[in-house]
Structure 1
Amino acid sequence: MDSILDAIWRAAELLAHADGLIITSGAGMGIDSGLPDFRGTNGFWNAYPALGHAMIHFEEIASPHYFHENPRLAWGFYGHRLQLYRQTAPHAGFALLRQISEGLPQGAHVVTSNVDGHFQQAGFDPNRITEIHGSIHHLQCLRPCQGNIWSAETLQPEIDIHACRIISDFPRCAYCNGIARPNVMMFNDTAWLSSRSEEQEGRLHVWLEKLNNPVVMEIGAGTRIASIRQFGEQLGCPLIRINPNEAQVRGSGNVSIPEGALDALREIHACLKEIKA
């Protein structure tokens, strides 16, 4: 326990001297909010029994294939996720992160592989959020017929949760009337429209140029799809890695905290307050 306490204090000291915070976030950030854990086949099938009964894995349903071959099933999965993310409140760690970042001269910028929109829901500046895999709260044409991306705000899908199928009308493209899909980068996806995420990345790089002493805080990013971990490591600044199962870091200036997001953020926030008192 002492080693975790030492890591918490080292993280707080890094933040106390930083001028900007790069928050890099993976799926583990949402676990404390009550979102399902898709790690492993059993975890995914427990969340979606109908897909388990059909022996459909996450990598299969989270791909454009089923939007073409069985769009009612595909929209059953993504429509349910859209509803779930709308109805789930971000846990208290998001607010603690905001408080930490608001105390830094240049604030924070979020870089996340999550598509749930919870950083926006928690009050983070949308212009300081980069969603590298897109957002379930935005739509595009399945084909796609044009390069348009639009908000899913008015979409209210009716889902048969037990069958994992949409029973209402499909969302439609306003230009060709074809089926729409979430503007989310899926597995084996050659039709994802990345322009919205690219605009976000452009704002991120402009902000990074302002920093002299940045710190990366990585939360809940795993090694299975390592985009978020690699991004933070490549920045070459001190890294605080929060992950209950995969917290290992390389480099003496980096910090490993093997805890869940909410517990670690509470402890870091308390230590930071004490340092600044």
Structure 2
Amino acid sequence: MNKAVDIIGSARSCLFLTSAGMSAESGIPTFRDKEGYWRNFPAYKNLKLEAVDLANPRSFKTRPSHAWAFYEWRRRNAKENKPHEGYTAINSLIDNHFENSFIHTTNTDGYHMTSGTSADHVYEIHGSIWRLQCMAGLGCSYTYEENEDVPLCGLDYDMMTASNLPMCPKCGGLLRPHVLMFGDFDYVEHAYQYNNFRDFLERAGIPDVAILIGSSGSVPTNDYLAVRLQASGCKIITINPDESSLRVCKPDVYIQSGARAAMTEIVRELRIKI
């Protein structure tokens, strides 16, 4: 921890790379634990449907009621829970310590913005459950829009089926979450967030430090980015209670801890007010 505090304390620029483990401490399931997934969705176990089957554009065409139930449950779950103190600690570092900083997250729960992070400091590279896009993708002028309605559609918890599905106001087709799914070729990039991320890299160059939080390496988007940054001289700090998370990126500093405890301790050691 002391080495991490020293690196962060002397750094002027930082990229936070947050993944599923960051949200897990707030009650957001990772869906990588199959048994945990089945406990939440016994109806899907009977149908032999896994998360990879439902988080897939094909399911919105072939079984839209089941696909939307999966995401409606996630929207309600995210609304019922809230970001933990680790998010606040990150915001404190962004606001009160670094000259240039940014959050590159694979999480789709919107918790960084919910915690108070400015929207121009976040790139949700895998999208957000709080936006909807038309199934037609760029073939429809609707593309994507913010929608934080809860409930958005009807949900039968026992059968895990949804009703009154959201429809596109432009073309009348089905709307889907603005989330990059498995086998997804119709996801519409969020240009505003992408451009803000690009602007950060132009300002900061290679950041002094990147903090990789909560990635199991199963979806290694952030891990691969960390590897590329490290090769260019960026110091990498990994925060994860599971040591197997180190298989993709070998960090300069490894903190075997959850995000909440690690980030709040770092801020406390740096004497930055949360």
Structure-2-length-normalised TM-score: 0.90
Q: 1:4 — aligned with what? A: none
Are positions 1:93 and 2:86 aligned together? yes
Q: What is the Cα deviation at residue 273 of structure 1?
A: 2.0
Q: Residue type matched to 2:256 in 1?
A: P
* Within-5 A mapping of 1:232-271: 232-236=226-230, 237-245=234-242, 246-248=244-246, 249-250=249-250, 254-271=252-269
* Within-5 A mapping of 1:33-52: 33-52=26-45
CA distance in 1, matches of 2:11, 2:95: 12
Native 8 Å contact 2:217 2:245 kept in 1: no
Which of 111, 115, 129 in structure 1 is aligned with 2:104? Answer: 111
* Within-5 A mapping of 1:64-143: 64-143=57-136
* Within-5 A mapping of 1:182-201: 182-194=177-189, 196=190, 198-201=191-194
Q: 1:214 — aligned with what? A: 208
Q: 2:146 — aligned with what? A: 151
Q: Residue type matched to 1:243 in 2?
A: N
The alignment partner of 2:109 has SS state of coil
CA distance in 2, matches of 1:59, 1:247: 20
Deviations 1:238-261 (Å, cap 9, x if unpaired)?
01101111353536xx11111111
Which of 54, 60, 75 in structure 1 is aligned with 2:53? Answer: 60
Q: 1:5 — aligned with what? A: none
Native 8 Å contact 1:247 1:258 kept in 2: no
The alignment partner of 2:210 has SS state of strand
Native 8 Å contact 1:136 1:182 kept in 2: yes
Native 8 Å contact 2:140 2:171 kept in 1: no
**Identity over aligned pairs, percent:** 28
Deviations 1:253-274 (Å, cap 9, x if unpaired)?
x111111111211222222229
Q: Residue type matched to 2:221 in 1?
A: S
Query: What RMSD in Å do the two structures reach over aligned CA positions?
Result: 1.9
The alignment partner of 2:262 has SS state of helix
Q: Residue type matched to 1:158 in 2?
A: G
Number of matched pairs: 263
Q: 1:3 — aligned with what? A: none
Native 8 Å contact 1:20 1:101 kept in 2: no
Give 4+ residue runs of structure 1 displaced > 6 Å after superposition: none
Q: 2:174 — aligned with what? A: 179
* Within-5 A mapping of 1:154-165: 154=149, 156-165=152-161
